Chain A
């Protein structure tokens, strides 16, 4: 329980939507929003207003040096690693994002794919052996996890990591709507200590897992 009422939330909903609410208050408001669709709608309205401001900022001509600097960021390494996906992309151009996610999962099914130093992509595999998504783990200074699933029941799943010593930790929630969903977050543990990633259904069943 957050201890916050709808009236309390209404006084700070705009600050939450603008992402300027102090962390302690933010946590309590988010707790309230979990169970209050009315306040969620209020915050969503403020987020839309904030996005409207952002979208109203002017375009600007890009100086040639800046254009070159932007193009220097192109993910050459990823292109090389994923070049074998090119044939699939021709089909994916007319398909949905999640079809692509599944295609990536198929590639990653057999063995981890090292996209960049310190980054590993592995398939999320269901109990029947089908790939239903991917997990990408990145180490380094800014450790991060990305997860995407498709072709599973709509639900909010718990994402867990299993460490080498057998202990587990819940690290977030992935919501699947319309058969697909994705989630990402920074992580605060050593990737070298992780052996598996599990996706757990609300009833506690492990619906998919990935060996890291």
Chain B
């Protein structure tokens, strides 16, 4: 769908400012710009097209509702939007838990032909950083970060003591933080 009135060239935060005041063309462009990301994120996390559609709809409803309070100091617009999507997915998954968690499959971009080269490169960096972790730590990080599982739930799922689950999250995130920083440094 083509953007109207040249709004396709606007920065994300300027476009969101238009959304905040109810500019129809800005709303259209915002949807065009983010629907693949929002729907893709939802689909990757909930694994169900119908549920992913519900999450995508709810994401945009919340964007319209909260656009005026978006705070650029707390992250880029795309991060803000995807956090909304993520929170909705976590809520949805409280009712329907995914059967299995494979950290590598979640970030598989083999079918992501429409993604930008930058995002696909970023996904590759994340996969590389996750692959450097012991599998149990990568799983714990993905279960917590992506599915909103707390340490107690992870301990139950993996059949380990609570302290072990907490350690896996802590060590996994610490290594991931360093690994991603190294990847970003290398890429720049």
**A residues touching B (Cβ–Cβ < 8 Å)?**
11-15, 17-22, 45-46, 48-63, 65-67, 69-75, 78-79, 81-83, 85-86, 88-89, 92-97, 99-101, 103-104, 134, 136, 146-148, 177, 181-184
Main secondary structure of the interface of B (DSSP, over half): helix
Q: Which residue of B lies closest to A51 (CB)?
A: B79
The answer to whether A74 and B10 touch across the interface, beta carbons within 8 angstroms, is no
Contact status of A93 and B176, CB under 8 A, knowing A59-B37, A62-B39, A183-B69: no
Distance from B169 Cβ to chain A, minimum over Cβ atoms (Å): 5
In the complex, the number of residue pairs spanning A and B with C-beta atoms less than 8 Å apart equals 215
Expressed in whole angstroms, the Cα–Cα distance for A101 and B114 within the complex equals 35
Shortest 4 CB-CB contacts between residues of A and residues of B: A60-B40, A14-B173, A58-B112, A82-B22
Measured between beta carbons, the chain B residues less than 8 angstroms from A67 are 35
The answer to whether A134 and B68 touch across the interface, beta carbons within 8 angstroms, is yes
Contact status of A104 and B148, CB under 8 A, knowing A46-B177, A93-B10: no
Instruction: For A92, give its contact among B18, B61, B177 (CB under 8 Å).
Output: B18
The answer to whether A103 and B21 touch across the interface, beta carbons within 8 angstroms, is yes
Of the listed residues B17, B45, B83, B122, the one surrounded by the most CB atoms of chain A closer than 10 A to its CB is: B17
The answer to whether A66 and B39 touch across the interface, beta carbons within 8 angstroms, is yes
Measured between beta carbons, the chain A residues less than 8 angstroms from B7 are 93
Measured between beta carbons, the chain A residues less than 8 angstroms from B14 are 93-95, 97
Contact status of A79 and B22, CB under 8 A, knowing A17-B173, A58-B111, A69-B53: yes
Instruction: For B44, give its contact among A52, A57, A61 (CB under 8 Å).
Output: A57
Distance from A152 Cβ to chain B, minimum over Cβ atoms (Å): 15
8 A-B pairs with CB atoms under 8 Å apart are: A46-B173, A55-B119, A58-B109, A78-B22, A79-B23, A82-B21, A93-B7, A104-B68
